Amino acid sequence: MITLNVDLGERSYPIFIGRQMLGDAGLIRPCINGTQVMIVTNETIAPLYLDKAAQAFAEFEPRHVILPDGEQYKNLEVLNQIFDELLVQHFDRHCTLVALGGGVIGDMTGFAAACYQRGVDFIQIPTTLLAQVDSSVGGKTGVNHPQGKNMIGAFHQPRCVVIDTDTLTTLDDRQLSAGLAEVIKYGLIRDIGFVGWLETNMDKLLARDPEATAYAIETACRCKAEVVTADEKESGVRALLNLGHTFGHAIETGAGYGHWLHGEAVGMGMLMAADLSMRQGWLSEEDVRRVENLIDKAELPTRAPHNMTYERFMELMAVDKKVRAGQINLVLLEAVGNAVVTTGFDPELLRETIETHRATE
Ligand SMILES: NC(=O)c1ccc[n+]([C@@H]2O[C@H](COP(=O)([O-])OP(=O)(O)OC[C@H]3O[C@@H](n4cnc5c(N)ncnc54)[C@H](O)[C@@H]3O)[C@@H](O)[C@H]2O)c1
Ligand SMILES: [Zn+2]
């Protein structure tokens, strides 16, 4: 087992990465302060992992709440089901919530923990690759609004993150690829060496080779932990982690939540960011091909939905959180392995990027 640390003073916490860790009471015991534990999961994950995960919390006689499965349920109405259960079961403010699932469950459980009685503890047990390499670390929590992704939320750090890589064996291929998009992201942002490693090892990752997978997760978590330590509330360097996300969130919202997976939209968005960077004169055509090949190799889409016109993108990107004082901030690439946040892009070039990448129908 590997232990990484997210260093945030009194809000510091460990990330445990390894195999056969679900149900390990010794691991999570130091992370629990009170006596009440509520496991939040969904109808897909519950039959697979709820009993096993609950074993780790047996001494607390954990309760659970099972939410419907899907990005379209990541909203305030479904969030209320968690509060209903907590109140019915008389949970007090020393309780701990446990997020057992992918990024949707993690974001919702974390947000419920941030709000319930003005803030209670929570633990992340991420079960998708995407959640293991990204969403479970860093304390961003929240739900969607019909007008925009993740628009209602809070920063709330977990007490620990337990990444049992064995849970990935039941994940379907499309979800695995979606997670790989966020893995690729770390390389493109700040680690050219990791880009090279991914180019060589993508086949192993798709074949779920345990060693390669563990290495990718560790590298991603290390990067995320460093960035979050340097800039917890995203006033600087953390914004780079949004590479591909301004385009991606527009695609997710525009296509209707649940149609494009978050990671698929992010992969597409990273390719568009690379393309715009080339049009700005920062990247070579060869660089863009390299990004496209990597995304393609991860079996991610390389064409945006046909209905996502320039006007629709602009409309949706204007409500994205990266907009400041009316200007759209984009994360672009100065080089493969070096991202920057900029408002300095030419809208005409952006139009070209969007038109070039829209599917023909
Ligand atoms: N908070 C953050 O920093 C952050 C970062 C990135 C993404 N996100 C959010 O994460 C969400 C996407 O997360 P996701 O990709 O994990 O999607 P998800 O949570 O919807 O999970 C994907 C699917 O896989 C199923 N599943 C989960 N674990 C499984 C397993 N081990 N075996 C079989 N099936 C399993 C789920 O039930 C679901 O159907 C988005 O809402 C996105 O906004 C948040
Ligand atoms: Zn993301």
Catalytic residue status for 140: yes
Catalytic residue status for 234: yes
Catalytic residue status for 218: no
Residue nearest to atom 21 of ligand 1 (CA): 102
Q: Which two tokens stand for residue 11?
A: 């809000």
Task: Name the residue with tokens 């379209």.
Answer: 72
DSSP secondary structure, 140-198, as one string: EEEEEETTEEEEEEEE---S-EEEEGGGGGGS-HHHHHHHHHHHHHHHHHH-HHHHHHH
The 10s digit of each residue's pLDDT in 286-295 is 999 999 999 9
Is pLDDT at 257 greater than 90 in this prediction?
A: no
CA of 262 to the centre of ligand 2 (A): 6
Q: How confident is the model at residue 328 (pLDDT cuts 50, 70, 90)?
A: confident
- Closest listed ligand to the CA of 103: 1
pTM: 0.95
Dihedral of the CA atoms 178, 179, 182, 186 (nearest 10)? -140
d(CA 92, CA 124): 20
Q: Which two tokens stand for residue 289?
A: 């091909």
Q: How confident is the model at residue 325 (pLDDT cuts 50, 70, 90)?
A: low
Across residues 144-166, what is the average pLDDT? Answer: 94
Q: How confident is the model at residue 329 (pLDDT cuts 50, 70, 90)?
A: confident
- In this structure, the residues whose C-beta lies within 6 A of any atom of ligand 1 are 42, 44-45, 48, 69, 71, 74, 101-105, 107, 127-128, 130-131, 134-135, 138, 140, 150, 167, 170-171, 175, 178, 261-263
CA of 165 to the centre of ligand 1 (A): 15
Marked catalytic residue, from 77, 118, 211, 324:
118
Residue nearest to atom 34 of ligand 1 (CA): 171
* Cα dihedral 330, 201, 173, 67 sign: negative
The 10s digit of each residue's pLDDT in 55-90 is 999 999 999 999 999 999 999 999 999 999 999 999
CA of 129 to the centre of ligand 1 (A): 8
pLDDT greater at residue 319 or residue 193? 193
Catalytic residue status for 357: no
d(CA 85, CA 171): 28
pLDDT-wise least confident of 30-34, 184-188, 323-327: 323-327
Phi first, then psi, for residue 78 (nearest 5°) are: -75, -35
- Closest listed ligand to the CA of 252: 1
d(CA 78, CA 98): 17
Q: Which two tokens stand for residue 233?
A: 């509330």
Across residues 332-342, what is the average pLDDT? Answer: 96
CA of 252 to the centre of ligand 1 (A): 14
Q: Which two tokens stand for residue 324?
A: 């400041």
Is pLDDT at 273 greater than 70 in this prediction?
A: yes
Catalytic residue status for 242: yes
Q: From 176, 157, 178, select the one nearest 165 (Cα to Cα).
A: 176
d(CA 111, CA 115): 6
